[in-house]
Structure formats: structure tokens, C-alpha cells
Structure 1
């Protein structure tokens, strides 16, 4: 019977799309953190190989923290699900034993907690072989690093965490209570990590749940060579830490068995320990009351449509933010933000920094991106199929509202979900700032950097996701297209296709303490207008093919689209297309005609040709700079700097110099260059 329950639990979670979403998120997160400097998980190491054993182990160890909420979603669900679905009594009246029922559910769900970790591990492995990585920073592939991280850190951590939260779910019978306990567990861990005094590090390394402090203690004084070659060992405080928490996990697993109410009587028992049997109430005689129906005025104008829109938007938003998958994905993202912001203060390009708002905005946008995309991938199809999944779509579709009400409500719901995650992330970052004694919070920079400048591609992706569903009418094809679209944004520049006219993105918005975002706003607004017009064009198509009713064949959809393509819709589409053409032409003229456009591949080729041509002069004797004098006037508001000065250069060699070589930076013009008794031999 244990095997039957185990297989039942495995088959149940195998059919849940949350598992595949988390696997995709973990794979992409670790793959991008390995292959891109813009995404990071866990601590960063200076001057070590990308695939150094310590870097791999630290990334996978941090992944065990992110896996915590996945463990809650799978393991706690196994014991809470029957109570939520009111099916517990069916199982408790069979001949299954308590051991078989409880531990069959536990180990079946535990298997999927391990599964999402292995998806992340595959992301790290795949990232090591990405062709665009700097091969000089890639060392020898080390299976030992993956093996040590898996058996010594991650699997023990996932096991004892699953035991603890399985026990809590058994006692409380509430997923929300278990999530709250998980957050408290993490906060306790972060508090432990804040103790850096030598006299407390030894104790913390023994009791910190995830083993990161013990790992850092063992590798703290390793040289760069050792970090690139050695693998930690299971000894000292690290061994004590792992043994301690495995023991705690087994104790909680035993407590769950002891406290689990394996009987119908205990399940139906009240909180005060007594059965509450309600006495039969006397029947109430039927009464007849006559009344007049109130006179109501029916309204189908714009005000009624706006009221419908706001009401439906609120409903869409609440349905998402109070669902378990969203809570899991949001907590994963927030946890990553907390770890990245707190862990980055000691090492950004090898230099300690203040927790400034501009720095934190950059970190949040890098670390939260995958969680936001994960939410969008999962809920784009869910939002569109909500009414059909509940089997009352025909009723909703027959109600008197125009298409734009439901279209805009679902789009607004998705955008509000993204905004809510960004707001919570900003609050978490503010907490890190306050904790570190930094009080210049710059709320406006958070609003600009998180909600406006950086996230516009995600807002456009919300429109694209609805467009994908309306055209394909398939949840899974929509999810696949969103993932494919996201990957294309990363892959196209590697192939030389990076112009923002055909690759949805924004100009690089780098915050400056001197000038803020002001000098970058104009190009951002032009690209925002351009891609907003693309979004409007997609919304017109969405309106034409918006599904209402029960017939969804291609032929019927085209017929409905022809009916909806009225004169006003045609005029709106024409205006959008003309505006799009004009805006795109203006951008193309400025970025390609007036100014030279060069892709990364073309730039690399130019640099390679430069090196091939002039490397022969690498050791050519040239004058050395003896002294420098420069006057610098900086005007941040005007974005101008005036330099005035001179070099004093001398020939510090024993022989005369026959040739002088000058290199000027791109964009710099030389108005005059006079060298007495010399002739110009080459200029290119």
C-alpha cells in the first residue's frame, strides 16, 4: 500500500504544471547566472573561473534556499490537500495504515522537491558550455563540485526543510501558515548570517540551517588558485552542521507521525477537543411576503463599461496574488533580491559599496527578472482560461460588455501583478538599506527604475502573451511562445541582431548619481512610443480575434474577425500603422543614418582587425609621460565637461625615437597636430 500511495503522489505532482514552471525558472535562473553578468544568485567571487568549484558549489547551495518554497508547495500540499478537498475521510476509512498514508505522501512529494533542484543543476552545467563565454575564464569541468554540492549541502537541506514544513502542515493543516513559517525560518537564517564577529562565527557555522556559513568559514582564506581547484571537505563545523539539521529533520518527521490525526473522529474534532453535535433546530414554517421589485435604470454606456473594467481588473488581480503558485514565485524572487542586495555590499567589482538606491535598483532588475517572467509564463494562460476552466465562460461571454472591457481587465491584472512584485521587492531592498544604516532612500528612483524605465519590455510582454493565446487558443503553446520570445531577446544579440527596432528592448538606462536618468529619457521615450504602437496594433488584432462563445475553429474566428473589422476599427488600425511607420523611420534615421550603427559582432570584428593590423607595433619605443597637468570643469546638469591641460613627454631611452604613433579614441577630433621636422607617414 505504501508503494501505491507513493505512486499516487508522484502521478499527482507530475500532472501539476507548477513543477514544470519551477523547473524552467530554476534552469533559466542558473543558466543565466552562469552565462550573464546581469543575473546573479548567491555570492560572487573576484578573479576566479566562472566554473570554479567554489563558484559552482556556492550557486547550488544558494539554490537550496530558493528551493525552500518549492518544498513547501509540494510537501505541505500532500498533507493539506485532502482536508482542503474534503476527501480525508475517504482515505481514513480504508485499511491503509498511518505509516503508509503519511510517509507515502511525504516521500512522493519530496521527490519533486529534489527535481526542481536538479533542473537548476542542469542549468549550471549547460551554462558552462555556452559558446559566448570568455574561454579564458573557463576551467576544467569538475563533476566533484556538483557531487559535493548535491549530497553534502542541497539534498540534506531539502530533506530536513521538507520534514519541518511537513510537520508544520500536519499540525496547522494550512498552506498559508506553513508559508508564513517558511518566511520566519528564512528571516532567522538571515539574522544568523549578520553575525560576523569571530567569536560568534564558530557558533553560527554550527547552527545556520543551510550550511553557507560553515562553507564560507572553511574556504575563507583560500587563494584564487585553491578556489579554482579545490573542493571543500565534510569535516569540522560543516560536518556538525549537516548532522545537526538532519537529526532535527528526522525529529520533526517523527513528530508529524505522532501528531497526525489518523481517524475520522479526530479529523472532525473541534478545536476545544469535543465533538460539536448541533441539536436539531425546529422547522421554520414557510412564510409568504409580498413586495414590489424596485425600479432600476439599465445603463450600457461608457460609465457602466468603466465600472465593469475596474471590477474585473480587481478580480483578475486578486485571483493571481492569492494563489499558491504566485506566492511561491514571489517569495523566490524576494528571497533572491534580499540575498543579492545584502550580499552585494561587500563585493561589486571587488569593492565594498554603500547600499545606494541606484545600486539596488540595478540589482533588483537583474535578480527579479526571471521570477517576473515565471509569473507571466504561468499566469498568461491561466488568466485567459479562468472562466473556461470553471465552466461558466458561456455565461460571461453572453453578458453585455464590449470586448475591450475583458481584454483590458486581463491585461491590467497581469501588469498589476508585476507592479506588486516590484513594489514588494523595493520594500525588501529598503529594509536592507535601513538595516545597514543607510537612510537616503530616494523613493522616486525606485519608482523610475523599477516601475517605469526597466520594466517596459515586461509590460509589452503582457500584451504579447495575450496575443499569443488569442491566436493559438492554447495555454501550453502560449507558455512556450513566451519562453521562446524571452530566449530570443538574449540569443539574438549573440548572433548580431540587436537593433531595438526589431528586438523588443529599451536603450540601456544607467542611473547616474550626478544626472539621474535625465540624459537617457529622450531615447527611452522614443522607443517606448515605438513599441507602444506595436502593442496597440496587437491589441487591435486581439480585439478582432477575442474568443467569445463556444466555437473556436480557425474558420469561425476569421469570420468573426471580419464582422468586427468595422470602419472605426479600420481607421484606428490605419492611424496606428502610420504612426508606427513614422516613429520607426525617425528612430532608424537617427540611429543608422545620422549616427553609425554597429552590432556587437561587428565591433568585435573591428577590434580584432585593429589588433591584427597594429600588434606589430606593440613594443615600438615611444615617449613616456613625465608629468601631467589638467584642469577639469564638470557641469552635471548640462552633461558637459571641459578639460584643459598638457602632458610633458620625454624619451627615457638611450636611442632616438624615429617614429611616433598616436591613437585617438572614437568620436575625438584632432584639430591640429604639429611635430617639428617630421612628416606624416600614415593616417587611417
Structure 2
């Protein structure tokens, strides 16, 4: 029975266009990265030569690991959906009546999705190979093809990492029956890994950092940290000592996770939920034993005016906004973001380990790339969830027959996302002021907080919200849409490698701004706001 389920799952994925879309995206990303490192854009960017070989075993491993991190965001929609799909289609009650064992069902579901993920990253490896040899690359930076370098990165690092993170996401989505919970898990895992790496960054703890790094990159760096350029160009990455211990440790963790999933899973179980409300069982007693009662219904009035559309749009946005702030993806990512703010606040303003006052402009630097990434991630995620909320709850046909214009529905969802962004920016202000008070600094400069958060930063996130609504509307798969948006968010700044350096050609980019107590924002504000207005109007 295992082979039957396994083959059927592979057939399902090979018949899905989204599989080939994911593979094509990773192929082109890999080709772009390898071709860029090999100097294909040197004529545009005036890049000088390098003494490093760009397809050395060490460089190949670094490129593979970089793409594998991006691949983790596919796990919920490929590995996580393996069992969830049976519940979504209401086929589980029929399938679970078939005479197959729990082991055959779970192992076939997981291994089939695991195989698809490995094939996608294998296509990425092909993209790396082709990118290094595209016409226009600097072949002085490219050595001969070394199959062992690709195989080493694939079997020593990629497969164990996919097995570990895939097993965790598989268990979370299987038990919660919620793909969004899988994305939260990926974000949490990456965040916890980065925090652990920062805590173990002390040179005296290098061995423990190498041992407990789930990606294995610190274990490889344990031996390659002091390699010369010649050694980096020629030597294969070692496979000994702490690297073997690291790989065995996390393979053991992945095995324990899968055994836990097997132990807890039941064909008759309900989805795991977390709720603070206790539902009390109450007996309902029928009271209407009398005759038929006549009810005079009020006469309905029809109002199709513009003002009524505005009121409807605002009320619908309130409904969607409450849906967002009460959902666990929002709460979980918000808590992770707050934790990151607290960690960064402890080191804010240090100049050569000398403490300075926690002024407002320093507090506004705290969001950095981490919290702003979380705001964008929530924007991308909920743009898809709100647009397909009717389909998710299976009331989309009822929504379609309501006398509400499509534009009103779409704008209400956009406004709900803007409200979410306003709340998240307010969290930054509250967290900054709370930390200032904790340090005994009470010159809060609330006007400065409001101006930078809501006049400068808010328009940046609003423009991304417009793009998210556009992508999630034209892409029918909300998780494919989320992945495309993440590619755009990460990839647009990398266009400088291809010679596209002007912000006017890169979506939602603008000259930076910096505040000083003497000059304020100076001339930077007008340039920044001009570019943001250009992108907002253009969108």
C-alpha cells in the first residue's frame, strides 16, 4: 500500500503546474546568482576581477545553502500540505476507511513531498551549473566542473536540512490543519537559529556553535574559517569531527520528530487548536410551542450611492481587521517581532561598547531589517488570506451574490491590511517608549515617533500592500503568491548586481534618510518622499 500512495502523490505533484513554476523560479534564481558571481554583468557594473574561484566546493556549498533557506518557505505548501490536502477536500473520511496502516500512509505522504522538494533543489543545482557557463561570464573565475562539490553539498547539507525542517513543518501542519501555522513555524525556526547563533558567537564557544547549528554552516566554518584563498579555491569541504557529529545530531532530531508525529497521529483525531475560551455545554430547550406567528418585515430600501459604498467598505474592513488581529499567525509573528526588538534594544546606541542615552532616533533604528521583514511577511500572508477568505471558509458563493461591488470588497481588504500595518508601527513606538522609560530616559519625542513611523515608513509598507493585493489577485494559489512576493522583496535590492542601480527602476526603492539632532532629516526627506510618491501613484 505504501507504493500505491507514494506513486499517487508523485503523480499528483507532477500533474500540478505549480511544481514546475517552483522549479523554474529556483532554476532562474540559481542561474542569476551563479552568473552574477562569474561576472556576467561586469560590463554594466564595472566590477573588477577576483582571486577567488566562484564555483569552488566552498562557494558551491554557500550558494546551495542560501537557496535552501529560501526553499524552507515552500515546505508548508509542499510537505505540509501532504496530509492537509485530504482534509481540505473532505476525502479523509473515505481514505481512512481503506485498509492501509498509519505507517504506510504517513511515510508515503512525507517521502513523496520530500522527493519533490529534493527535485526542485536539484533543478536549482542545474541552474548553478548553467549560470557559471553562460556566454559573457568571466571564465577566469570559473574552474572545471567538479561533480563531487555538488554532491557533497547536496548529500551532506541539503538533504539533512530538508529532512529536519520538513519533518517539523509536516507535523505542525498535519496536526493543526493550517498551512499558515507552517509558515509561522518556518519563521520561528529561522529566528531561533539566528538568536542561538548570536548567543554562541563568542570565539570560546565555536565548538558548541558548530555542533548545534541546524544548517551545518557553522560546522563547516569551524574548519574553513582560516583557509587561505588558494585552499578555498581548491580543497573540498571536510567531512570529519564536528561536522559528522552535527549532521548525526540533527538527523537524530528529525527522526525523533517523525516518530513523534507517528505516535500522536490518529485517523480519527480532530485538529489541534489553542483557545483561551472555554465553551460551556448548554442544553437548548424548545420554547415556541404556540401557533404560527405573523411577522411584519420592514420594507427594504436600496441605496447604491457612493457614500453607502464607502460605509460598507469601512465596515467590511473592520470585520477583516478583527479577523487578522485575532488569528494566531498575526499574534505569533508579532510576539517574535517584539522579542527581536527587545534583543536589539539591549545593544542599541553602543559605541565601542560604550553605552549612550536611548534617544528617540536610536529607538527608531531598532526595527532594522528584522521587524520590517515581519511587517512585510504579514502583509503578504494576509493579502492572500483575505482575498481567498471566502474560499477558505467555503462561503465564496454567498459572497458573490451579495449586492456589493467588487471594488468595494477589494478596497475593504486593502484597508484592513493598512490598519494592521498601523497597529504594527504603533507597537514599535510603544516598545521604544517603554524601553526608554525602563532606562530612565523620559524625553520621548512623540512627534518624532509619529512623523517617522507614519509619514516615512508607513508609505513604504502601503506600497508593498498594493503589490501584494495585485499578485495575490492574479495568482490563484495564495502560497505561490506569497513565495513570489518574498522573491521580489529579497531580489529587488540584488538588481544592483545586474547593473540596475537607480532606485527609479527598482520597485519601492528610494534614497535613504537619516535623522540628526542638528539638521533633522535635512534634504533627504524630500528625495525619499518624492520617490515613494512616484511608486505609490505608479502602482
TM over 0.5, yes or no?
yes
- Higher alpha-carbon deviation: 381-390 or 102-111: 381-390
Q: Does residue 1:147 correspond to 2:151, yes or no?
A: yes
Q: CA deviation at 1:534?
A: 4.9
59 and 490 in structure 1: CA distance in 2 versus 1, 3 angstrom threshold: closer
Q: CA deviation at 1:58?
A: 2.7
TM-score (structure 2 length as normaliser): 0.64
Q: CA deviation at 1:110?
A: 1.4
Q: Does residue 1:10 correspond to 2:24, yes or no?
A: no
Q: CA deviation at 1:286?
A: 4.9
Q: Does residue 1:405 correspond to 2:412, yes or no?
A: no
225 and 360 in structure 1: CA distance in 2 versus 1, 3 angstrom threshold: farther
- 1:509 aligns with one of 508, 511, 521: 511
Instruction: Quote the Cα distance in structure 2 between the aligned partners of 1:405 and 1:237.
Output: 59
**Structure 1 contact 6–105 (Cα < 8 Å) conserved:** yes
530 and 168 in structure 1: CA distance in 2 versus 1, 3 angstrom threshold: closer
Structure 1 gaps of 5+ residues are 38-45, 272-277, 346-350, 536-684
Q: CA deviation at 1:53?
A: 3.9
Instruction: Quote the Cα distance in structure 1 between the aligned partners of 2:272 and 2:468.
Output: 46
504 and 353 in structure 1: CA distance in 2 versus 1, 3 angstrom threshold: farther
370 and 149 in structure 1: CA distance in 2 versus 1, 3 angstrom threshold: farther
**Partner of 2:46 in structure 1?**
none
**1:44-76, Cα deviation, whole Å (9 max, x unpaired):** xx9856555434423422443444443344333
More helix by share: 2
Q: Does residue 1:222 correspond to 2:227, yes or no?
A: yes
Instruction: Quote the Cα distance in structure 1 between the aligned partners of 2:521 and 2:458.
Output: 14
**Structure 1 contact 53–142 (Cα < 8 Å) conserved:** no
**1:230-258, Cα deviation, whole Å (9 max, x unpaired):** 33111110011112222332343344334
Q: CA deviation at 1:310?
A: 1.8
* Structure 2 SS opposite 1:156: helix
Instruction: Quote the Cα distance in structure 2 between the aligned partners of 1:213 and 1:129.
Output: 30
Q: Does residue 1:311 correspond to 2:315, yes or no?
A: yes
| Higher RCO by CA contacts (8 Å cutoff, separation 6 or greater) | 2
Instruction: Quote the Cα distance in structure 1 between the aligned partners of 2:266 and 2:75.
Output: 22
Instruction: Quote the Cα distance in structure 2 between the aligned partners of 1:92 and 1:519.
Output: 67
**1:633-683, Cα deviation, whole Å (9 max, x unpaired):** xxxxxxxxxxxxxxxxxxxxxxxxxxxxxxxxxxxxxxxxxxxxxxxxxxx
* Structure 2 SS opposite 1:7: helix
524 and 205 in structure 1: CA distance in 2 versus 1, 3 angstrom threshold: closer
**Structure 1 contact 139–228 (Cα < 8 Å) conserved:** no
405 and 47 in structure 1: CA distance in 2 versus 1, 3 angstrom threshold: farther
TM-score (structure 1 length as normaliser): 0.53
**Structure 2 contact 79–113 (Cα < 8 Å) conserved:** yes
**Partner of 1:58 in structure 2?**
62
Q: CA deviation at 1:533?
A: 5.1
Give the 5 Å matches for 1:253-652.
Answer: 253-262=258-267, 266-267=268-269, 286-288=289-291, 290=293, 292-293=295-296, 295=298, 298=301, 300=303, 301-314=305-318, 363=369, 390-392=396-398, 394-396=400-402, 399=403, 401=404, 404-412=407-415, 419=421, 445=452, 450-452=457-459, 454=460, 458=464, 461=467, 500=504, 503=505, 508-512=510-514, 514=516, 517-527=521-531, 534=538
- Higher alpha-carbon deviation: 57-66 or 208-217: 57-66
- 1:159 aligns with one of 157, 163, 175: 163
Structure 2 gaps of 5+ residues are 40-49, 274-280, 356-360
Q: CA deviation at 1:360?
A: 7.3
- Higher alpha-carbon deviation: 105-114 or 503-512: 503-512
195 and 225 in structure 1: CA distance in 2 versus 1, 3 angstrom threshold: same
**Partner of 2:105 in structure 1?**
101
120 and 456 in structure 1: CA distance in 2 versus 1, 3 angstrom threshold: farther
**1:48-106, Cα deviation, whole Å (9 max, x unpaired):** 56555434423422443444443344333323444455533322322223332221111
Instruction: Quote the Cα distance in structure 2 between the aligned partners of 1:318 and 1:19.
Output: 34
Q: CA deviation at 1:107?
A: 1.0
Q: CA deviation at 1:156?
A: 1.1
- 1:196 aligns with one of 201, 211, 225: 201
Instruction: Quote the Cα distance in structure 2 between the aligned partners of 1:268 and 1:239.
Output: 40
**1:150-177, Cα deviation, whole Å (9 max, x unpaired):** 1111111111333344455566666566
Q: CA deviation at 1:295?
A: 4.3
**Partner of 1:656 in structure 2?**
none
Q: CA deviation at 1:416?
A: 6.5
**Structure 1 contact 76–169 (Cα < 8 Å) conserved:** yes
59 and 104 in structure 1: CA distance in 2 versus 1, 3 angstrom threshold: same
Q: What is the aligned length? A: 480
Q: Does residue 1:250 correspond to 2:255, yes or no?
A: yes
Instruction: Quote the Cα distance in structure 1 between the aligned partners of 2:96 and 2:523.
Output: 68
Give the 5 Å matches for 1:84-99.
Answer: 85-99=89-103
* Structure 2 SS opposite 1:54: helix
